[in-house]
Structures are given as C-alpha cells and as structure tokens.
Amino acid sequence: MTDERSSATRSGEHPPDDSDDTPSDTPSDDEDTGESTSASGTTSHSLSLESFHDACQQAGRPVLTAGAVARALDRPHEAISEDLDALTERGALERLSVSTDPVVWYPSELEDLTDRERVVVFPKRREIIVDRPDQFTRAQLAQFAHLADGNGEEGYRYVVRPEDIWQAPHDSFDELARTMRQALGQRSRALEDWVESQWDRAHQFRLTTHEEGYTVLEAKSPEVMGNVARQKLDEEHVHAPISETEDWVREGAEAAIKRILYEAGYPVQDHRELEAGEQLDIELGVSLRDYQQTWVDRFAEAGEGVFVGPPGSGKTVAAMGAMAHVGGETLVLVPSRDLARQWAEAIEEYTSLEPDQIGQYHGGQKNVRPVTIATYQIAGMDRHRSLFDDREWGLVVFDECQHVPSDVYRRSTHLQSRHRLGLSASPIREDDRQTEIFTLVGPPIGTDWQALFEAGFVAEPELEIRYVPWGDDEQSNAYASADGRERYRIAARNRGKIDEVRYLLSAHPGSKSLVFVDYLEQGRDLSDALDVPFLSGETPHHERRRLLEEFRRDERDLLIVSRVGDEGIDLPTADLAIVASGLGGSRRQGTQRAGRTMRPAGGALVYVLATRGTREEDFARRQLQHLGRKGMTVREETIEREDDASDGQ
C-alpha cells in the first residue's frame, strides 16, 4: 500500500533505517521533483528547494555556502553550485557575496523554514515529534497516538502506546497503516511492525452471546486461550471450558474478565448481544461542532467509549448526540444531585424530550423514566439496584467517569446495557487505576486540547503560579516545627494568601471570579475578610443553587468555593480563578479548576497560590505540569513581602 506523500523521496537522501532509533524525517510535496534528464538520456538529481531547506535544518542556519549544501546532501560541489544558480534564476533562492566567503545562499522566503510542517519519527521510542502540524495531520495522529506534550511554540510530542492501537477506530490493520502513513508522510517499517503486533493482541479475545443466552469468552487460538486466559482466570470468572478456544462465562464476571485480560496486554472485544431496551426517539435541538460529531461517530462505530475533552468543550451536548444516535432508554450516572438536576435541565433544553420523560433518582427525588439521571451512590446500593437492573437500558452514561474505578462507584458498572459512554475532562487517577476506566466503560475518544484552543472553541487560560510569603511569623514558625500532613495544612492556610487574593481581585476589577480552597476554615476566613459567600458541602442545596444562579446571571461576580465545586456541581465559567489551596490534590483537580475559566471568549486567568519555601511549591509545579503538557502556558512569579522589600533597600 503506497501513499503519494510516502512515495516522494528527496534528492541526495537515503530512506530512513528503522533498525535503530534514528529519527526519520518527513518529506513534503514540492512542485520541483529534483530530477532532470541529461542529453545522454540518463537521469541526474538536481537540487530542489525542499532539499535546500533540509540542508539548512541540518546545518542549523538559514544561510549556507555551496560547500555547506554539498556536505549536507553528500553531493559534488560543482553540481550543487549549478543547481543553486538554477534555483536563483527561478526566484526560489537569493545569493549574497560576503567578505569571509565568496557567496552564501538563502531562501527567498525565509519564513518558509519556520512555517512548514515537519514530522520526525523515533521508532524505538515510539515517539513522533511534529513541528507546526496542520489540522489534517493532527486529526490523523489522534487516531493512533497520544499527545504527550502540546506546546505549539516548540512542537508537539506524540507517543504511540499499546492502548492507542487497541482502541484505534479502524476495522483492519491495513486501514490503520494507511492512516499512519498519511500522518507521517512516510512509511516507518519498525513502527508499523510494532503497531501490527499490538493490533493482533487486541483481536485475540472476544465476548459473545451463546444462542442459549449466556456469555462466552472466545480466543483466536487454543494456544492463547491456554497460555493467557486460563492462566489468568479462575472459577470466579468462568464455569467451564466449552471447547479449546471457548469458555462459559459466569454471569456478572464480564467486567472483571475484561479488566484482567486488559492488564495482561490483551484487550477483549465485546460482541455480546445485549438488550437495547425500549426504543426512544430523541432529536437534538442544537448542531454539533465538527469535533463533537467526530466523537459521536467514533462512539457509534465502537458502541462504547469515553469522551475526553477540557471543561467547556461540550461533552454533555455530545453525549446527548450519542443518546440520539442510540435511540433507546438511557441511564445517566452522576456524582451528585446538583449535577442530576443540571443534566435534567440540559436534556430538556437541548433535546426533543418532554419533562415527563426525564426522571431523577437520588436523595431528593426518586423517579425512573425513559431517561433517568441517578447518582452513583444510589445506583450502587443493593436496595435500589433492582430498579435499574430490571430496566433494559439502551445506553448508560457515566459522567465524571474518572471515579468509576473507586470501590464505591464501580458497583454501578455492573449494570448492563448495549452501549456505554463515559465523560471526563481528565481521566487520570493518582492511584494509576485509569486503565480500569477504559475496561469498565470504553476506550477514550477525544480531541487534543491545543486543537480546541487554536480553533477558538475553548479559550486557553493563562496560568500563573504565585509564590506567596508567610503572612506572619507565627505560622512560619509553626510550619518549621510541624511535620507530615500538618505542615501541608499550615502552608495551605497561610494568612498571607488573603492579602494576595485581595490584590489579585483589585488588579482585575469587574472580572467574574472564583476562589478555590481545600479547607473550610480558610474558606470561612476568606469569606469574612472579603464579605463574600462561601459555597461548600455544608451549604444547603437550595442556597447553593441560588448562589450559582446569581453568578450565572451576572448578579454576583465573586464566589469562594470548596472542593465540592471541583466536580460535584457544574460551576459556571469565570474570567478569573484563584486557587488559594488544594495543591496537594490530584492532577485531575488542577484540570477541573483551570477549566472553570475555559470558554470561547478569551482573556481568562488562573492564579495558583503556593506558600514560598514550602512543599506547596513542588505540589504546584507537579499539578500544573499536566496542564502544561496539554498546551497551556504556565508562568511563575515570586511575591515579596513589604518588609522583605524594605530590607533589601
């Protein structure tokens, strides 16, 4: 299988050798093929502008002598000089005589060196470095690689992981290989061989439904069944062998089997004939953005998945698009009753469903309807489970699905449905159990954050870590004599942060602002100091709802929010977010808090306060590194106390 881009070779270059980890550089199409025919009829290679660019990149300079070009391309000096003259006559190059060297050459459009896309492949490390990729390249890469670093100024670093291949949205390896060659502009044999091996691993096992209704685990060969499945699984998972390549699965053990084999490096294809539930016609009342439609299309192909995107990217609306595609009764699981109410309101607003078709099931009300929004805790309780088990759901949606691997939430994943969909801004866990999200719910489906920033769908907030001095010596001395968690608590509650919050609010007058805290005492102190409401888990639901509605309607421009605001409620977007404490939390928490400022309008700011000279400095850098890799710019600023400044005068 060939590709137009992969078949192009540049003059004087040799094909990349994938036997080592030498980077293979991507050619790009050029009108000048670099070939000419001599009078004798033999073909000789002439210099193309593309090859000149390559020589410049190799030399690290935008201007070169003829000798430098010849050395870079391993071509005779005389032949190169003639080719340089020819390119100059065509206007592709300029020449300049200088005193230290007779002539130097440079492209007529020097910016071409920096504006063009370049792809470098490191096969052994399975890394791909891309400088200024276009949207097509990024879309193709997203189908088989993970964006590890997204700093657009310094290029993009993609890593090809096993799980990226296991969940690639293709029906055959040939289709996947074609996508790879389109993205890379070349064929990397070593990388493709490894990808093919992972593709084969992902198609060794599958779950099917026997004609008598029970589930069967099938293996591609007796060897893989005996050496892998029957070594890893026991009587808790399977009843007995049916044949050399088939095992009879115990009811309810499907999720455990998928997780165990996934961890062994063999993801299971789920081809069970699950009940689709009663038909429910749903029409979406809004148009999906292109990337949202891509999410829905990929979900439709796989029948399951996790929509991964930054807060504000419209995962909830995309989920409604998936509901419309499935056209069946739907159960939505959420972390809190506040989110259940917001989901119900959004479904009523954005779909054709009537209020009497939408139910909520939690501590506040218990109504099971064709579309039901329930909390994870309720759905996992034995006395309520039968209500959900007895109904045949066409789709189960797991909102904030990064919680699913936890012992409390995972019981809800035993509910069976034909389709499963998860939603998460950051499906990572500090306990490294994130792979369970994809075995319990489905593979990740998403768009890299930087692409959404650049397209203007989501604004990229400016992040700044501000290292704040102690507010008084009493707390500083207490920190020095404390240890463990107590040191962290003292640093987090540094009273100097109150003055810094005041300063930042005054520096951004008129901004809609959210201040995040991890400690109730600190929240109350800030509330008293600023005369602003403090929204926490202790705030009654009706009061919480009123405050948030006032903030949304611009009747209130400042709220102090405890950890409950990170995921348990759907906070409105803000212009300014100040994280006063919470740096010992998870990377996911940093994502959620930064995400509160993401929206199509620009100018959003996130300030993270860390007590200077304490462990909070390391926590801040660690937490925000994750966001830096997603393409956000992170700055650092050290704040001096007034008496510190005066001492230095």
**pLDDT class of 305 with cuts at 50, 70, 90:** confident
Indicate whether 263 pLDDT > 90.
Answer: no
Mean pLDDT of 427-435: 50
pLDDT confidence of residue 143:
82
Burial of 350 (0-12, 13-18, 19+ CB in 10 A): middle
**What is the residue type of 453?**
F
- Per-residue pLDDT of 311-324, as tens digits, reads 777 899 999 999 99
Q: 499: which 2 tokens?
A: 């003055």
List 215's β-bridge partners, or say none: 209
For the CA atoms of 582, 588, 590, 592, the dihedral, rounded to the nearest 10 degrees, stands at -110
* pLDDT at residue 196 in the model: 95
pLDDT of residue 59: 72
Q: Is the pLDDT of residue 565 over 70?
A: no
pLDDT value for 505 = 93
User: Sorting pLDDT into bands at 50, 70 and 90, what band is 649?
Assistant: very low
Residues 6+ apart with CB under 8 A from 64: 52, 55, 56, 72, 104, 105, 106
CATH number of 38-113: 1.10.10.10
Cα–Cα nearest to 403, from 358, 448, 336: 336
Kindly provide the residue ranges of all beta strands, DSSP E only, lying in 346-497, ordered along the sequence. 358-361, 371-375, 393-398, 417-424, 444-446, 462-468
Quick one: 290-451 is in which CATH superfamily? Answer: P-loop containing nucleotide triphosphate hydrolases (3.40.50.300)
What is the average pLDDT across 373-381?
A: 83
Span 457-479, average pLDDT: 82
Q: Specify the CATH number of the domain 459-647.
A: 3.40.50.300
Q: Where are the alpha helices (DSSP H) in 411-455?
A: 434-440, 449-455
Pick the more confident residue, 99 or 246: 246
pLDDT top residue among 544 and 216:
216
Unique residue bearing structure tokens 């007034």 = 642
For residue 413, name the pLDDT band (cuts at 50, 70, 90). Answer: low
Taking Cα atoms as reference points, which of 165, 173, 266, 172 lies closest to residue 225? Answer: 266
Residue ranges of the alpha helices (H) in 465-607?
473-481, 485-492, 496-507, 520-530, 541-552, 564-567, 587-595
Per-residue pLDDT band for 394 (boundaries 50, 70, 90) equals confident
The Cα 479–Cα 151 span in angstroms is 37
> Could you tell me the residue ranges of all domains in the chain?
38-113, 119-201, 205-270, 290-451, 459-647
Indicate if the pLDDT at residue 34 is higher than 50: no
What tokens appear for 379 in the block? 């759905």
**Cα–Cα dist 488/183, whole Å:** 46
Choice between 335 and 8, residue whose per-residue pLDDT is larger: 335
Is the pLDDT score of 456 beyond 90?
no
Query: Is pLDDT of 453 > 70?
Result: no
* More confidently predicted of 36 and 477: 477
- Among 100-109, 220-229, 451-460, 560-569, which is the least confidently predicted range? 451-460
Pick the closest to residue 217 from 163, 254, 262 (CA basis): 254
Query: Which pair of structure tokens corresponds to residue 76?
Result: 């005779």
pLDDT at 409: 61
Confidence of residue 600 (pLDDT cuts 50, 70, 90): very low
| pLDDT greater than 80 at residue 364 | no
Mean pLDDT estimate for the chain = 78
pLDDT at 19 over 70: no
Q: What end-to-end distance do the CA atoms of the chain give, in Å?
A: 72
Give how far Cα 287 sits from Cα of 292, 317, 348, 573, 637, Å: 9, 9, 16, 21, 42
- Region 150-169: mean pLDDT is 78
Which residue would you say has higher pLDDT here, 255 or 172?
Answer: 172
Would the CATH topology of 290-451 be identical to that of 459-647? Answer: yes
Highest mean pLDDT among 104-113, 335-344, 414-423, 558-567: 335-344
Report, as an integer, the average pLDDT of 57-62. Answer: 70
55-58 LR contacts (CB < 8 Å, sep 24+) = 56/107, 56/113, 57/113, 57/118
Reference 103, options 70, 63, 74; nearest CA is: 63
pLDDT at 455: 56
DSSP state of 414: G
Retrieve residue 267's tokens: 């993801």
- Tell which wins on pLDDT, 344 or 448: 344
pLDDT band at 410 (very low <50, low <70, confident <90, very high): low
Across residues 207-212, what is the average pLDDT?
A: 90
Confidence label for 554 from pLDDT (cuts 50, 70 and 90)? confident
Most confident of 186-200, 275-289, 374-388, 528-542: 186-200
Average pLDDT, integer, range 29-50: 49
